[in-house]
Amino acid sequence: MTRRFAFEPAARECYLALRKDPDNPLYLAIKEILNELLEQPGSRHLRRLRYRPDTWGVPIRSGDLRWLLFWRPSGADPDVIEVHYLGPAPGET
């Protein structure tokens, strides 16, 4: 089994922009969460916030920044994790 991500376009753009600075603490925090998602998508830590049926939110903190990652397992392919949102949490800029 090889899990992989399917990013919504806006989430992908955000991730790729952050990836341009691989030493950025926010990017490193996001990368850690994504790696954990690939390894253990059933982790309680990754399923703390439920938004819709089968859609989960993971809060990401880096310094004073608060971000969110919304994801769900693909209904069509059990090896695909769909990332629907990656960006600032509500109230953050």
Cβ pair 72, 82 in contact under 8 A: yes
Question: Span 15-31, mean pLDDT?
Answer: 96
pLDDT tens per residue across span 28-74: 999 999 999 999 888 888 888 888 778 999 999 999 999 999 999 99
Beta bridge partners of 68: 59, 87
Global pTM reads: 0.89
For the chain, domain boundaries: 20-88
Cβ neighbours for 15, distance < 8 A, ≥ 6 positions apart: 7, 30, 83, 86
